[in-house]
Structure 1
């Protein structure tokens, strides 16, 4: 009979857990750009749309964030923006709000020593690449030729199909 103890089945098989990410990822850098007195539109531009708005509390925006990933500790945070009319009155953020680099490191599931994808060539690798081939029969780009000959377009303000 199989037994489940903690995270493992039969003591050695780890079942797959679905990754759950909900809410707005807010970092110290993002929150630092928001200042009291900013209009709602500017706060929305900097932090994104709030996940929770309440018709009974229109002056409060909630930015909750939760993430549960296999192999990392779950994270949960709540940032609250309170407004006086259209202007930001206060922004309440937890003290443990991570920086962008800290957040990326906390959700990185690559193990030390595991093969990570290479994202950029070194200068030596770049100089070792063959030069791009330029052939005479290559088709010229549309931008170099201009508009196709014989094409005309109606003016944008003309009413199409109105019969006038």
Structure 2
């Protein structure tokens, strides 16, 4: 094997290793690289989405089952603090700002004593708008008909019930027993 090929193999191997190590340092540390070459990032959603409407329904004196029915199962329960439920929500989506919220329900026995809610809790519409990375051009499509449009629709035609005469061919079978 010529001398040039013997030197070329290790050089190519070192260049490949240097290139791979450079890729791993770009992914997490430099957002400028991510802006130039957008890589796919996994969407991470954890916890319970609690909106302002749902939080307003929770009142002191409710049972644990009633709170669970309204908000879902808590994200964190602690064996050492059995009277505390933590509702934690985090979301990281590509193209949307990351969000994190923490709500705390404190119980006395089986009854809700207090419910700590952050001041920036969004309504359902605000939450959907904040995670919606698809921005349609123009007006949003209409999803529901009003009463005038419903009344203008043709009435459904119901088929007539089948008459008893349209039974089909009948067969006569000989009796099974003779006698």
TM-score normalized with structure 1 length? 0.68
For 2:59, what is the secondary structure of its paired residue? coil
Structure 2: distance between partners of 1:77 and 1:15: 27
Instruction: Compute the displacement of 1:110 (Å).
Output: 1.0
Equivalent in the alignment of 1:80: 104
Matched, 1:24 2:45: no
Aligned length: 136
Equivalent of 1:8 in 25, 28, 33: 33
Q: Is the Cα–Cα contact under 8 Å of residues 7 and 14 in structure 1 kept in the other structure?
A: no
Runs of 4+, deviation exceeding 6 Å:
129-136
Structure 2: distance between partners of 1:130 and 1:16: 49
For 2:114, what is the secondary structure of its paired residue? strand
Equivalent in the alignment of 2:121: 97
For 1:8, what is the secondary structure of its paired residue? helix
TM-score normalized with structure 2 length? 0.63
Q: CA RMSD in A?
A: 3.1
Structure 1: distance between partners of 2:61 and 2:154: 56
**For 1:99-145, what per-residue CA distance to the aligned partner results, in whole angstroms no more than 9, with x for missing partners?**
001000000111242897x574778x999x99989889xxx9xxxxx
**Structure that is richer in helix per residue:** 2
Question: Aligned pair in 2 of structure 1 residues 75, 133: CA closer, same or farther (>3 Å)?
Answer: same
Equivalent in the alignment of 1:37: 61
Structure 2 unaligned residues grouped into runs of 5+: 1-18, 163-179
Instruction: Compute the displacement of 1:89 (Å).
Output: 0.4
Question: Aligned pair in 2 of structure 1 residues 7, 112: CA closer, same or farther (>3 Å)?
Answer: farther
Instruction: Compute the displacement of 1:20 (Å).
Output: 0.4
**For 1:69-106, what per-residue CA distance to the aligned partner results, in whole angstroms no more than 9, with x for missing partners?**
00000000000000000000000011000000100000
